[in-house]
Amino acid sequence: MELGVTPQSDAIGGKSWNVVGHTYTPKLHSPNVFIWHAQVPDGTFVPPHIHPTQDEWIYMLTGNLEVEFGGDVHKAGPGDTIRMPMGIAHGIFNRSGAEATCVFGVAPARKLFDLFGKLDGVTDPAELVRLSALYEVDFLPPPDAG
């Protein structure tokens, strides 16, 4: 990690990714941690998935998100921190009627920074699942329709 400040309007390497309809802007990246700013439009979500090698967290700036752990739904708003331990399935949903902004982080960084580069603009769910598995993020199968 380089010392210094990443200004609010800047990103590491000028990068910004569209991942599942969210805009992710990397702010800090080292082998130990990866932190990114996220704009999460209303009606978007990250399907339930597991990070088997990383703890993940979200610090809410504006708006509201819901995080599902199995059948449990946890609601978070500005100033709240959502904790998602490694190995625990979680899905992230914006059902609030407005955009949410937040800061995500994972530790250790592992392969997530590289994964976001691969997922930028990917809209095919099967391809998202395939690529994610190659970078240590495992999506759960969708629930039965019946």
DSSP string, 40-102: E-TT-EEEEEE-TT-EEEEEEEES-EEEEETTEEEEE-TT-EEEE-TT--EEEE--SSS-EEE
Average pLDDT score over residue span 45-52:
95
pLDDT of residue 117 exceeding 80, the answer is yes
Residue 92 lies in a domain: yes
Residue 7 lies in a domain: no
pLDDT of residue 144 exceeding 60, the answer is no
Residue 142 lies in a domain: no
Domain with 50 in it: 14-134
Cβ burial 85-97 (10 Å sphere, 16+ → b, else e): eeeeebbbbbebe
CA distance 115 to 129: 11
Residue 97 lies in a domain: yes
CATH of the domain at 124: 2.60.120.10
pLDDT of residue 145 exceeding 60, the answer is no
Closest Cα partner for 137 from 12, 94, 114, 121?
114
Give the number of residues written for the chain: 146
Residue 56 lies in a domain: yes
Number of domains in the chain: 1
Closest Cα partner for 133 from 49, 38, 70, 18?
49
- pLDDT: is 71 or 24 the higher one? 24
pLDDT for 71 equals: 86
Residue 117 lies in a domain: yes
pTM (2 decimals)? 0.92
